[in-house]
Structure 1
Amino acid sequence: MRARVLTVVLLLLLAGCAFDGGRDDGPVTLRFQSLAWQEESVTANKELVAQWNATHADVKVEYVQGSWDSVHDQLLTSFEGGEAPDVIHDASDDLADFAYGGYLADLTDLLPARLKSDIPSRSWQTTTFGDGVYGVPFLQEPRVLVANASWLKRSGVRIPTPEHPWTWPEFRRITRRLSGDGKYGVAWPLKEPVSATLNLSLSAGGQLFHQDADGRVTVRFEDGDAVVPRTVHDQVGVDRSASPTTLGSGGSDTLPGFFGGRYAMVPLGFSYRQQIVQQAPKGFDWQVLPAPAGADGTAQGVSPQTLSVAQDSRHQKEAAAFIDFLLRPKNMVRLALGDWMLPTGAQALADPALHTSKDDWATGAALAAHLRPAPAQFVRGYPEWKDKVATPAFQEYYSGAIGLGELRERLENDGNLVLARYQR
């Protein structure tokens, strides 16, 4: 009988240790799920984790590899199953449902003053929901025009700069001028058209989502929202200055045609420069140009990459301390260089390595001050709205299957039905 009692006590003690994640006097273990995928970025993240572990005997970090392709559903499953990582790498436009759903910790009182003051308020807006801050925005990228520099020089067109960009009408005229003989002035890779369209539309005053005093969000497709979609639509279907075959392609899919001289320009995220450097034929002359400007100049929406802490984490303070370590200025520069993106932190952004003419880092850095929170940042139900309503509607409009009026009707009518379910 005594042996049985001792066995039960031992089992209970072991179960308690398993639930507790380790003895109270032992080291804390944090699970850090990273979405880094480029070789340089994965290396930088793993080296920083190793550096932390080498200098923190009481708090160890376990690196967990995640994937951008499945992160939303994977996180939702892990949250509901009580198995979420302590430190979560994601993007700000994916946080709203998790923040309002109570899955993420409010970082307001967990982050040091240094980190809070180093990142500008416009970036913090991307991770603020209600009265709480649910992520630290740390990497961002503008959408730019990657151009065949030799082609543009031969054509004699005006080369835009961050100080003097093309307007949207000028951009359309120039792509017409560059087209002909089976070649196109631009190739739009719009396999996922929603974020590109909405974020670029900020330059023309587009907002699409509107929030009333009670916090309810509705979709209104107004004049500013139509500038960018109409430009793309007319380049493809009216001017024949944009390739119709790339509309269903991802950015990487357009690079062979770009290198082969079929497209003069491709609108891409700033980080695509890494692929271009690796894949461009020897002697291929390319350059980065700012995206066209509208009524609001070169304003552009972004959804920064973020680091959050799970609400269920038993070690929130330690997780926040690890985030602070990862985002020290010199470390933030390492992460930015590894991902070929721009840091949000002012000290990191000022680093000379991000202002060189090599690979046009300076052009991207000059656009950083014009980046704004993406229109969808605060919208609950955005993932469903994007997948079920906006993506098919924009794809059909760009292909010429529907007109601007039907695009507006579907985004507003069908879209508001979806959003209403999240605001009851």
Structure 2
Amino acid sequence: MGGRSVRLLTVTAVLALLLTGCSGDGDGDGGERSGGGIRLRFQSLAWQKESVDANKELVREWNERNPGIRVDYVQGSWDSVHDQLLTSFEGGEAPDVIHDAADDLADFAYGGRLADLRGLLSERLTSDIPAHSWRTATFGEGVYGVPFLQEPRVLIANRKIVESSGVRIPTPARPWSWEEFRAVAKELTAAMGKGKYAVAWPLREPVSVTLNLGLSAGGRLFHRGGDGKVSIRFTEGDAVVPETIHDQVNFDRTASPSTLGAGGSDALPGFFGGKYAMVPLGFSYRQQIAQQAPEGFEWMVLPAPAGAGGPVQGVSPQTLSIAADSPHRKEAARFIDFLLSPRNMVRLAKGDWMLPTGVRALADPSLREEKDGWATGAALAGELRSAPAQSVRGYPEWKDKVATPAYQEYYSGAIDRAELEKRLVKDGNLVLSRYQR
């Protein structure tokens, strides 16, 4: 069977799963007004001013149109959302509508804390979001979140340094290979002079960066067997990205060692000052750069390097879920349908400087302009896939206790590849085994 036929069958299967028993009462515009005096709590993790303003404005619009189903906006935080939700679930005080990320849902979904959305969502919404996005929020037989915002990892580059060097400028259709990226970094570093680097890798949180970029090189790390259990195996595909970063820092001297423990924002002053030519960052960092760049500083958005699999990347979209204990699931689903109408999804995407998952929203001309790199991001949207660890129970513990310190030590040169592999696999499988008995 041809690849196109397989994809069509997959899309059909996923949509059938979502629409099983669908009530179809969401219409993307608030639906009928209810006189029941229902009150819903919507916990949002928006934090940038534009995003917070967009979310609050949409809640206000909903409340004006639906006086019988009032939504209260509750501000949450990305820094503490997992523990905060765990506490609220245990105490029976979880918000009705929950904003989170797909890679944080597995334990809550398998633990019965989130409502299975099959039968609750409108056909308009389920058909507008592609099957590969729905898979990021599918755990076992159920769907536990609506993926609505996503971002590729890109290279934010100093236009003057890169273009004046004479290196080939990568495009979404023809990105740099990992080998070419390493060679380009050597050229740029040599041209920039002493004390400057082609690349700054801000890797305070190294795990998702490494795994998601590694997908293009064939890396998966997590493998599900016929019994449904997941085990960790480290292959040559899994080694491409970490070896590139390790070698750039420790052998080529083309990447700054001082940024390894930094966050993305921490690397920006050096970038603006010409110390670094390129910084791999999430697409949404463009907002900070646009607001903070010195007058006259020219920057550009380039696709991240890719392996033999092309520019495919793992991604963990932002999601909207419904608490399993919510007594108003249908009303909560209607509110989600309103928030994620094509027009509103564009507003949320622009507020967060991210990309919508919805096909109709992504086609909006304002999200395909060359200015600020929107067109580059939109061109990469079709290559985003479910992150390798998306549905793995125990991933948060493995990430915090095993993978983060292992990658950090490897990138700094404190351990070699053999020790990295040993920790990720041996110690990692011990952690996962506790969740799969």
Do both proteins adopt the same fold according to a TM-score greater than 0.5, normalized to the shorter chain? Answer: yes
Please list every run of 5 or more consecutive structure 2 residues that lacks an aligned counterpart in the other structure: 1-33
Q: Give deviations 1:119-172, integer Å, cap 9, x for gaps.
A: 000000000011100000000000000000000111111110101110000000
Matching residue of 1:146: 156
Is it true that 1:192 corresponds to 2:205 in the alignment?
Answer: yes
Matching residue of 1:121: 131
Report if aligned partners of 2:42, 2:74 keep a CA contact under 8 Å in 1. Answer: yes
Matching residue of 1:378: 391
Matching residue of 1:43: 53
Identify the match of residue 174 of structure 1 among 184, 191, 202. Answer: 184
Matching residue of 1:367: 380
Report if aligned partners of 2:117, 2:142 keep a CA contact under 8 Å in 1. Answer: yes
Matching residue of 2:10: none
What is the CA distance between 1:378 and its match in structure 2? Answer: 0.7
Matching residue of 1:389: 402
Matching residue of 2:86: 76
Matching residue of 2:99: 89
Matching residue of 1:30: 40
Q: Distance in 2 between matches of 1:193 and 1:153?
A: 29
Q: Distance in 2 between matches of 1:106 and 1:25?
A: 26
Q: Secondary structure at the match of 1:268?
A: strand
What is the CA distance between 1:213 and its match in structure 2? Answer: 1.1
Q: Secondary structure at the match of 1:388?
A: helix
Could you list the structure 1 runs, at least 4 aligned residues long, displaced by more than 6 angstroms after superposition. Answer: none
Is it true that 1:276 corresponds to 2:289 in the alignment?
Answer: yes
Q: Distance in 1 between matches of 2:63 and 2:228?
A: 43
Q: Secondary structure at the match of 2:198?
A: coil
Q: Secondary structure at the match of 2:249?
A: helix
Is it true that 1:245 corresponds to 2:255 in the alignment?
Answer: no
Matching residue of 1:108: 118
Q: Distance in 1 between matches of 2:138 and 2:288?
A: 33
Output aligned runs, 1:155-174, within 5 Å. Answer: 155-174=165-184
Q: Give deviations 1:231-276, integer Å, cap 9, x for gaps.
A: 0000000000000000000000000000000000000000000000
Q: Secondary structure at the match of 1:178?
A: helix
Matching residue of 2:325: 312
Matching residue of 2:29: none
Q: Secondary structure at the match of 2:199?
A: coil
Matching residue of 1:254: 267
What is the CA distance between 1:295 and its match in structure 2? Answer: 1.2
Matching residue of 1:420: 433
Matching residue of 1:13: none
Q: Give deviations 1:288-319, integer Å, cap 9, x for gaps.
A: 00000101000100000000000000000000
What is the CA distance between 1:44 and its match in structure 2? Answer: 0.3
Q: Secondary structure at the match of 1:306?
A: strand
Matching residue of 1:202: 215
Q: Distance in 2 between matches of 1:379 and 1:364?
A: 27
Matching residue of 2:141: 131
Report if aligned partners of 2:200, 2:259 keep a CA contact under 8 Å in 1. Answer: yes
Is it true that 1:56 corresponds to 2:30 in the alignment?
Answer: no
Q: So what's the TM-score if we normalise by structure 2?
A: 0.91
Matching residue of 1:6: none
Output aligned runs, 1:340-355, within 5 Å. Answer: 340-355=353-368
Q: So what's the TM-score if we normalise by structure 1?
A: 0.94
Matching residue of 1:5: none
The letter for the 1-side match of 2:161 is W
Identify the match of residue 290 of structure 1 among 303, 307, 323. Answer: 303
Is it true that 1:224 corresponds to 2:234 in the alignment?
Answer: no
The letter for the 2-side match of 1:295 is A
Report if aligned partners of 2:110, 2:139 keep a CA contact under 8 Å in 1. Answer: yes
Q: Distance in 2 between matches of 1:367 and 1:347?
A: 16
Report if aligned partners of 2:148, 2:357 keep a CA contact under 8 Å in 1. Answer: yes
Q: Secondary structure at the match of 1:57?
A: coil
Q: Distance in 2 between matches of 1:360 and 1:209?
A: 32
Q: Which structure would you say has the larger Rg?
A: 1
Matching residue of 2:30: none
Report if aligned partners of 2:36, 2:69 keep a CA contact under 8 Å in 1. Answer: no
Residue range with higher mean Cα deviation, 230-239 or 176-185: 176-185
Q: Secondary structure at the match of 1:138?
A: strand
What is the CA distance between 1:25 and its match in structure 2? Answer: 6.7
Q: Give deviations 1:80-106, integer Å, cap 9, x for gaps.
A: 110000000000000000000000000
Report the aligned-residue RMSD: 0.8
The letter for the 2-side match of 1:131 is E
Matching residue of 1:15: none
Output aligned runs, 1:320-335, within 5 Å. Answer: 320-335=333-348
Q: Distance in 2 between matches of 1:27 and 1:169?
A: 61
Q: Secondary structure at the match of 1:185?
A: strand
What is the CA distance between 1:26 and its match in structure 2? Answer: 4.3
Matching residue of 1:233: 246
What is the CA distance between 1:57 and its match in structure 2? Answer: 1.6
Report if aligned partners of 2:35, 2:67 keep a CA contact under 8 Å in 1. Answer: no
Q: How many residues were matched structurally?
A: 401
Q: Distance in 1 between matches of 2:354 and 2:79?
A: 19
The letter for the 2-side match of 1:299 is V
